[in-house]
Amino acid sequence: MNNSSPKTVVLKFGSSLLTGGSEELDTEQMATVARTLAASGERNVVIVSSGAVAAGFRAAGYVMPPTRTAERQAAAAIGQGRLMKLWSDAFQEVGLTVGQVLLTNDCLRDRRRYVAARGVLRELLQAGVIPIVNENDTVSVDEIMVGDNDNLAAMTASLVDADLLALLTDVPGVYDRDPDVDSGAQIVSCASSAQELRVLCFGKKQAVSTGGMETKLEAAERAGRYGVPTVIAAGNDPKVLETLLAGGVAGTRIEAHAEPLRARRHWMAVQKGLTGWLVIDDGAVRALRRRASLLPRGVVGVGGRFRRGDLVAVVDDQGVEHARGIVRFDDRDVERIRGMHTDEVKIELGLEAGTVVMRPDRLVLSSHEVHA
């Protein structure tokens, strides 16, 4: 375990933290974050900030934070500017500049947009600017939504090659037992993987927040596959943030995978909301585990719409995902050749089309398959 002072850190602040458990943003909390970062010395910091809906729902005419998608988007459209103004004012007081970066899952799913987002974030960091990242709620629909800022923070950590992802919330970490039931519950200081902690999830979902402990563990798993450790800790205590930035121990630390994925495979692994999938038989599942190619013979079904070069999921007949990768045919051609032997594929599509649906160097196994 390496607890040296992180050079590049992604800090995620949830709505429940930034509102102090109320329905309004706590400007003093934001000012405290700015002062703490300014005093911590030179390092690359990216903030993933919730709070756009909380900042805008009253101005949009709602008495309470809305739950319907269109209403939340309207509140976010008003609140995003207000949220950025509050962060800008807080950091301006300590002589630092922030820049707004709005992402959707579509930006991260498309490889070219992924590289472009990576370039923008790196340019901002090199200029000494603190990027404030949020999902572009106003234009996001189900197909392109990341869905929660914990996972958005994990994806951002991969974009900037972070040394640490800190998910800062209103609880001090992950407990070994339910603290609402057992007063003797203790914080788990360190875990080798997010899977170890899943049985200990007791996160509460509040009206303004779309997160919870389970999404934090999912984010930690995603970050860990790229080689980034995650800390879940209390963000309402300035000393916790000071400790983390200095490389100290606070909250619950979830270690990164011992063998992190390379950039392209990590990009494939962390994507959400894939629009297409292939259903394969048991023999094909075993072949993928041996790092073999996926051939038409092993494909028994096709779902969704996709084109050659798209990222698609590979599932069994129960819908369990075993891998995902770059497909070499569009959905209509895969439907034509599924179940065929190589010679039959050549006759059906022609010699120039190829006979491999997915190559092993263009796919990544699901996390449960890596250890199968």
Q: How far is CA 354 from CA 34, 44, 180, 358, in A?
A: 56, 45, 59, 11
Domain boundaries, given as residue ranges, for the chain: 8-265, 274-370
Q: How far apart are CA 200 and CA 213, in angstroms?
A: 9
pLDDT at residue 147 in the model: 59
Q: CA angle 209-211-212, nearest 5°?
A: 115
Superfamily of the domain at 8-265: Acetylglutamate kinase-like (3.40.1160.10)
Collect all residues with Cβ–Cβ distance below 8 Å to 112 and sequence separation of at least 6: none
Whole-number pLDDT of residue 227: 85
Does the domain made of 274-370 have the CATH classification 2.30.130.10? yes
Residues 170 and 236: beta-carbon distance below 8 Å:
yes
Is-contact 355 294, C-beta < 8 A?
no
Return the SS3 of 312.
Answer: strand
Mean pLDDT per 10-residue interval, the chain, length 372 residues: 75 87 85 93 90 86 84 87 94 96 77 85 94 77 58 90 92 85 88 81 43 82 88 90 91 85 72 86 94 95 91 94 93 95 88 82 74 44
d(CA 293, CA 296): 10
299 pairs with which residues across the strands? 280
Q: What is the pLDDT of residue 201?
A: 59
Predicted pLDDT of residue 215:
87
Q: In what order do the strands lie in the sheet with 363-365?
A: 299-304, 276-280, 311-315, 321-326, 363-365
Phi-psi region of 261 (alpha: psi -120 to 50; beta: other; left: phi over 0): beta
Fill in the amino acid letter for 176: D
> What pLDDT sits at residue 144?
34
